[in-house]
Amino acid sequence: MNVIQPHWPAPDNVRSAQTTRSGGVSAPPYTSLNLGTHVGDSLADVQRNRAQLATHLDLSNTPVWLEQVHGTGVVTLPLPLNATATPVADAVLSRTPGQVCAIMTADCLPVLFCDTAGTVVAAAHAGWRGLANGVLEATLQAMNVDPANVQAWLGPAIGPSAFEVGGEVRAAFIAHSPLAAAAFVAHGDKESDISSDKWLADIYQLARLRLAAAGVTQCYGGDYCTYTDSERFFSYRREPKTGRQASLIWLG
């Protein structure tokens, strides 16, 4: 199973992992380590993939999978004992060892968080809507620690050469901060292309700006492109019928 270990100076008791698309049992077009149950893949295959991942990572508890809705909701683990429904949220945190926070993506930006004391971890799903509406800030608020003592790792997302967006996306970020304008490049050399109000967006730069504004100075990662790296990552923009990789973090 090909699982990436995030490269960041997290405390010794913080465990994290980033899955790729290889090492599972799903058939094409979900080849092969698809972890999403909502994309049309065989439920039995997804369950086998999730079980194999838990074994590979030697997890004491099953990851809590979310119903992600491109919002700013944050759920805290462990869930209540009587909870049966899948949590609807786009971020998850835990202060309890062994409770695994997990986010699924296929172009959207996953962000892992921990504090430098190793007391709390979190994971956030930051598509452009969630990022613009404050999912990272909501996660930091729920962590309830000084942002100066928070580390963030930016996982695999669509890269700045592939993420085309409309002018409304650019306007939404610039309305929050004029500095966001630097993360957008007009798409196309022809005047007609530029006047069509299409832009290439750097979601990594946008996330770094939001984190910095919130007081987070320790930011790592941000050097992947799910769209162009078809061997390692699923990409919804590249293949609308595709699987989902996961970014996971927990206290050991």
Higher pLDDT pick, 133 / 192: 133
User: CA 126, 115, 219 angle in degrees (round to 5)?
Assistant: 50
Q: Does residue 226 lie within any of the structural domains?
A: yes
Judge whether residue 191 has pLDDT over 60.
no
Is-contact 72 139, C-beta < 8 A?
Answer: no
d(CA 3, CA 83): 30
Letter string b/e over residues 14-36, b meaning 16 or more CB atoms within 10 A of that residue's CB: bbbbbbbbeebbbeeebebbbbb
Q: What is the mean pLDDT of residues 48-77?
A: 96
- CA 100 – CA 121 distance, rounded (Å): 9
Torsion of CA 168, 174, 176, 177, to 10 degrees: 170
Write down the pLDDT at residue 234: 98
What is the DSSP track for 71-127? Answer: S--EEEESPPTT--SPPB-SEEEE-STTPPEEEEESSSEEEEEEETTSS-EEEEEE-
Report the alpha-carbon distance of residue 18 to residue 15 in Å, rounded. 11
Residue 192: exposure state from Cβ atoms within 10 A (0-12, 13-18, ≥19) = exposed
Long-range contacts of 229-232 (CB under 8 A, 24+ apart): 229/156, 231/21, 231/22, 232/2, 232/20, 232/21, 232/22, 232/156
Cis peptide bond upstream of 78, omega within 30: yes
* CA 52/CA 39 separation, integer angstroms: 19
Residue 189 within a domain: no
| 168 located within any domain | no
Report whether pLDDT(189) > 90: no
CA distance 126 to 132: 9
95 belongs to a structural domain: yes
Q: What is the pLDDT of residue 82?
A: 79
**Higher per-residue pLDDT: 82 or 175:** 175
- Residue 165 has a CB neighbour count (10 Å cut-off) of 18
Region 145-172: mean pLDDT is: 97
Is residue 163 situated within a structural domain?
no
> Which sign, positive or negative, has the C-alpha torsion 4, 152, 136, 118?
positive
Label residue 85 by pLDDT band (50, 70, 90): confident
Task: Of 25-34, 143-152, 190-199, give the lowest mean pLDDT range.
Answer: 190-199
| Interval 6-54: pLDDT, tens | 999 999 999 999 999 999 999 999 999 999 999 999 999 999 999 999 9
Q: Residue 77 and residue 98: Cα distance in Å, rounded? A: 10
Q: Is residue 237 part of a domain?
A: yes
Average pLDDT of the chain, as a whole number: 95
Q: What is the pLDDT of residue 188?
A: 65
Q: Is residue 148 part of a domain?
A: yes
Residue-wise pLDDT for 152-162, tens only, equals 999 999 999 99
Residue 1 pLDDT greater than 80, yes or no: yes
Query: Is the pLDDT score of 219 beyond 80?
Result: yes
* DSSP 8-state secondary structure symbol assigned to residue 141: H
| 42, 26 contact by CB (below 8 A) | yes
Cα atoms in the Cβ-side hemisphere of radius 13 Å centred on 164: 9
Domain that holds residue 67: 3-157+217-251
- pLDDT, one tens digit per residue, over 98-133 is 999 999 999 999 999 999 999 999 999 999 999 999
Q: Please check whether residue 212 lies inside any domain of the structure.
A: no
Q: What is the C-alpha separation between 39 and 242, in angstroms, rounded?
A: 7
- CATH number for the domain spanning 51: value is 3.60.140.10
- Report pLDDT for 56: 96
Looking at the 3D structure of the chain, how many domains does it have?
1
